[in-house]
Every structure is written in structure tokens, then in C-alpha cells.
Chain A
Amino acid sequence: MKVSAIITLKKDVLDPQGKVIHQTLDGMGFKDVNEVRQGKYFEIDVRENDPAKAKGVVEDMCKKLLANLVIENYKIIETQ
């Protein structure tokens, strides 16, 4: 079963890459942008057919490796 997780920087953490992307978008003419925050997306194929269990395994991965909880939040977005 495939489980997807999104890792985002917490609100107060500086995201210089997001800032530069925002500035570049602005320079390209995308003037209606308030803020850009860059994150990470993982698609993990787990050998588990029960959605709840599969999500649980990926949540554990997020806590232990995929995210650094000092600066990042994780969200498990879908299973298929």
C-alpha cells in the first residue's frame, strides 16, 4: 500500500529557499503571492494492506527519520 507524507517547516522557522522562490515568482510577474514555503514529499510503498497500520508505520518513520520535529511538521495525506 502506498502512503504519502508531506514534511513542512514549522511556522516560525526561516525558509530562505521559499523566500528566494517567492522573489523569483514575483520577478516573473506572479504578483499575488503572500508567501512561499518549501517542503518535502514522500511516497512510500509499505508491505501492509491495512490502511490504518500502513499509516501508523509511516507516521513512525516521520517521527524517527523523515522529519526533524524541532523544525518540521509532518502530515500523512493519503493512502492508495
Chain B
Amino acid sequence: MKSSVITFPGSNCDRDMDVALNKFGFKNKMVWHDDNELPKSDLVVLPGGFSYGDYLRCGSMASKSKIMKSVINFAKSGGLVMGICNGFQILVETGLVPGVLLRNKYLEFICKNVFIKPANKKNLYFKNIDKNILEFHIAHNEGNYFCTNDQLKEIEDNNQIAIYYCNNKGQIEDKFNPNGSIKNIAGIFNKEKNVLGMMPHPERMIDQCLSGEDGSLFFKNLINNIKNAS
């Protein structure tokens, strides 16, 4: 399975993502934002960081970069595109997934482990994952997911909520919402479920010594799902 990680000026989780993807069997290539062509890929990842210094709005500049034309075409033709953290912010700015990410409700940069719960497993990202509650890491200033009421209705009608913030028992309540996101939303799909944007970082949870293994579960499962689907 081949993957591509896009590096923008200011990306800083690109190499972590490269390590994670290679560790679980992807043949990963790093792709520069100024390139026009995407290498042949089964998965494209927009990594975390502070692309273009978060100027104007987080992700807004990166969403207009040269490579994004190819990424958007790839996504529109059904290719798997995953945006983590700043990658999620870039995805909302392209319009590939609905909504926006506002400044965290209490104006704090949040850096901690959180529990998340997949909303459903009828998609290639979470299908067959054998845990219902995962512990991932978040580190962001603008992760407060917001959308209009009409968008929220559409998102819910199409089962586009990917993951919720919850506690270690899977309870989805306001007190387990770190940043003020509507309905505790931590990740969103496009309608077709091939594009996933999420604030939590699975690539930071791939080593028991350093952090945890729930990211390992996620990546192992993801590559298996992609293999089985192709």
C-alpha cells in the first residue's frame, strides 16, 4: 500500500506521520506543497503543524497551494485523504469536509491525551477496529468544530460525524469536550466517507514506551481495510 504525506511550510507532524505509516506497512513518500503531481497513492495524509504560520485562518493558505489541486481531484475521485489537526483545518478550508475550526472555547492551546469514540464503523478508517474507545493526543489552538444548523442536520443525516470526544467509558458529555466543539465532534467525514478530518493525532500513539498503542491499532486496522477493499 502506498501513501503520501504532504509537507507544507510550517508542517511539523509530517515526519512523525511518515514514521507511523512506514511502521505499519505503508510505503510512504513525502510530497512538497509546491509540486503539481501526487505520486500514485492509496492514502494521502495532510499532517499537523502550523502551515504558513496559521496566517489569515489556520489552513487557509495551504488549502490553495499547488499540490492541493491534485489532492482535491484525488479525493473527488474517491481516493482516501486523511487530515490530522492542521490537516483537518486545511480540509475544511478546501470544502472537502463541511464546517470550520474556530479558536478553542477557553482561548487555551490544549495539549493532552483525550479519549475518542468512533461514531460508527461503516467506513474504511474505523471498520473492524476492535476497541470502541481510543486514547489519542491533541495539541491545538483552533479545534473548536463549528458548522451552521443546516450543515449539522446534513452531517447527521449522512452519518458524517467520524469521532466524538468522550471519557474513558465512552460517555459523550460536555465535560469531556476539550475545546467547545459542537456535539463533542472531534472528526468529520465527507459524504462519501473517503475523506476524514480529525483533530486528534493517531501518529503520536504508536509506541508503548513513548505514549500508547491506540494509534498502532488505528494504522494496522487502516492498512488492512485498504488492502481488503482493493
Known A16-B103, A16-B106, A71-B102: A65·B146 in contact at CB below 8 Å: no
Q: Does B49 contact A (CB under 8 A)?
A: no
**In chain B, residues 159-203, which have Cβ atoms closer than 8 Å to a Cβ of chain A?**
180
Q: Chain B contact residues: over half helix, strand or loop, or mixed?
A: loop
Q: Does B147 contact A70, Cβ atoms closer than 8 Å?
A: yes
Q: Does A28 contact B (CB under 8 A)?
A: no
Q: Number of residues in B with C-beta < 8 Å to the partner?
A: 19
Q: Does A1 contact B (CB under 8 A)?
A: no
**A-B contacts at CB below 8 angstroms, number:** 32
Q: Name the distance in Å between B9's Cβ and chain A's nearest Cβ.
A: 17
- Chain A 6-38 interface 0/1 with B at a Cβ cutoff of 8 Å (1 = within): 000000011011001000000000000000000
Q: Does B128 contact A (CB under 8 A)?
A: no
CA distance A17 to B106 in the complex (A): 9
Which of A14, A16, A17, A68 interacts with B93 by CB under 8 Å?
A: A68
Q: Does B229 contact A (CB under 8 A)?
A: no
Taking CB atoms, residues of chain B closer than 8 Å to A68 are 57, 60, 93, 100
CA distance A71 to B60 in the complex (A): 14
Taking CB atoms, residues of chain A closer than 8 Å to B104 are 16
Residue of A whose beta carbon sits closest to that of B104:
A16
CA distance A14 to B146 in the complex (A): 9
List 18 A-B pairs, Cβ < 8 Å.
A13-B102, A14-B102, A14-B105, A14-B144, A16-B103, A16-B104, A16-B105, A16-B106, A16-B107, A17-B103, A20-B107, A65-B60, A66-B56, A68-B57, A70-B99, A70-B146, A70-B147, A71-B100
Q: Which residues of A contact B (CB under 8 A)?
A: 13-14, 16-17, 20, 65-66, 68, 70-71
